[in-house]
């Protein structure tokens, strides 16, 4: 009984919403495995899902499994490599040409604990994929989301944001690099991006928050995210009982994407399908504004 209640505690909150997404379109990045795949599976029971992944073969395998299970043929694979801005622009261009609407964007894909490396554009890998890639993707799809409102942007962050700081003097870790901290920094960037995005969107929209942006911590999930670290993989195996399954980990993403009670909630951070504590650094509006302008500079975009 103790084991069971412990397991239940680990499992955390569940998304109770039965909201259907008929005629609606959702994009989930990194949906070929782990939390992203479970998020796509759930949304596929409700409406049309675009599975946006770097590895097309893996994505097709995941998509056909989801189609078979949900009976929804509208699970579509598109290539998206967040470590390459050219790929992000191509993805957005194709999507905008093919889809007239976009109601939900779930920025889920991420890298964790990778050895020092850079993206195609010379960004440190964690910051480049987890923050800048999704920042650019959101920018490119923003008008379509606005036209389709009510629309939601969901950024998958992490409890690890508590350990992060935005090191403007060394954003790409060239002076000093620690892969654990690099991950934390990128997850803090997700929280700050969400905060500043929500602030800007609220100013733009006449009707109350028909267009929202929220971030979340999925929980400590048994997934492939730790594949770059032998020690973490070993710890994950030992403590798997205390880790969420990918399905449990996807609950808060789904909740942020569909729950009716969040219709006009924006700029918040959730965990276990409820509001959660954000670190003081994650609430720093000055850093959020500065990160926004630095991100625009790095990506060569103007986003006012």
Active site residue 255: no
Helix (H, G, I), strand (E, B) or coil at 244: strand
Instruction: Give me the long-range contacts of 87-90 (CB less than 8 A, separation at least 24).
Output: 87/54, 87/120, 88/133, 88/136, 88/137, 88/140, 89/136, 89/140
pLDDT at 13: 84
Is residue 187 situated within a structural domain? yes
Is residue 174 situated within a structural domain? yes
Return the closest-CA partner of residue 113 out of 243, 238, 234.
234
- Separation between Cα atoms, residue 221 and residue 263, nearest integer Å: 27
> Quick one: which H or E segment has residue 136?
helix 134-147
Which domain covers residue 197, as residue numbers? 22-299
DSSP-assigned beta bridge partners for residue 48: 25
- Separation between Cα atoms, residue 103 and residue 72, nearest integer Å: 18
Is residue 203 situated within a structural domain? yes
**pTM of the prediction?**
0.93
Place of tokens 């905060």: 195
- Separation between Cα atoms, residue 202 and residue 210, nearest integer Å: 9
What distance lies between CA 295 and its chain's CA centroid? 17
What distance lies between CA 193 and its chain's CA centroid? 11
pLDDT at 272: 93
Is residue 201 situated within a structural domain? yes
Return the closest-CA partner of residue 105 out of 133, 84, 124.
133
- Separation between Cα atoms, residue 166 and residue 109, nearest integer Å: 20
Per the structure, how many domains does the chain have? 1
Cis omega (within 30 of 0) for bond into 72: no
Pairing of strands 104-107, 75-79: unpaired
In the structure encoding, which two tokens stand for residue 153, read together? 């942007």
Is residue 8 situated within a structural domain? no
Is residue 13 situated within a structural domain? no
Helix ranges restricted to H, 148-260? 179-204, 230-238, 246-258
- Kindly name the residue from 116, 177, 183, 255 that is annotated as catalytic: 183
Is residue 10 situated within a structural domain? no
For the stretch 212-244, pLDDT in tens is: 999 999 987 655 555 666 666 666 565 565 677
CATH number at residue 31: 3.40.50.720
Is residue 304 situated within a structural domain? no
Helix (H, G, I), strand (E, B) or coil at 205: coil
Can you list the residues of the chain whose pLDDT is less than 70? 1-11, 203-209, 221-242
For the stretch 106-131, pLDDT in tens is: 999 999 889 999 999 999 999 999 99
The answer to whether 137 and 107 have CB atoms below 8 angstroms apart is: yes
CA neighbours closer than 13 Å in the CB half-sphere of residue 287? 19
pLDDT at 113: 86
pLDDT at 171: 97
């Amino acid at each position: 009984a103790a084991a069971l209640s412990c397991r239940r505690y680990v499992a955390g909150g569940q998304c109770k919403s039965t909201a259907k997404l008929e005629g609606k379109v959702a994009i989930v990045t990194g949906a070929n495995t782990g939390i992203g795949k479970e998020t796509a599976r759930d949304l596929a029971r409700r409406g049309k899902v675009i599975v946006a992944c770097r590895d097309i073969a893996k994505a097709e395998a995941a998509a056909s499994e989801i189609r078979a299970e949900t009976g929804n043929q509208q699970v579509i694979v598109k290539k998206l490599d967040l470590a390459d801005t050219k790929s992000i622009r191509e993805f957005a261009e194709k999507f905008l040409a093919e889809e007239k609407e976009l109601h939900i964007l779930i920025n889920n894909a991420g890298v964790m604990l990778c050895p020092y490396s850079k993206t195609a554009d010379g960004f440190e890998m964690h910051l480049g994929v987890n923050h800048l890639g999704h920042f650019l993707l959101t920018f490119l799809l923003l008008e379509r989301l606005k036209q389709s409102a009510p629309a939601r942007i969901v950024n998958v962050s992490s409890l690890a944001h508590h350990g992060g700081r935005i090191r403007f003097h060394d954003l790409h870790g060239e002076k000093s690099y620690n892969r654990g901290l690099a991950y934390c920094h990128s997850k803090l960037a997700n929280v700050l991006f969400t905060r500043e995005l929500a602030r800007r969107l609220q100013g733009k929209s006449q009707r109350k928050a028909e267009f929202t942006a929220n971030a979340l911590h999925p929980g400590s999930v048994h997934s492939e995210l730790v594949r770059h670290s032998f020690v973490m993989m070993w710890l994950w195996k030992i403590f798997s009982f205390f880790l969420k399954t990918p399905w449990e980990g996807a609950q808060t993403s789904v909740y942020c994407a569909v729950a009716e009670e969040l219709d006009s909630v924006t700029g918040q951070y959730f965990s276990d399908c409820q509001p959660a504590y954000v670190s003081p650094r994650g609430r720093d509006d000055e850093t959020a504004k500065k990160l926004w302008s630095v991100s625009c500079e790095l990506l060569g975009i103007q986003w006012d």
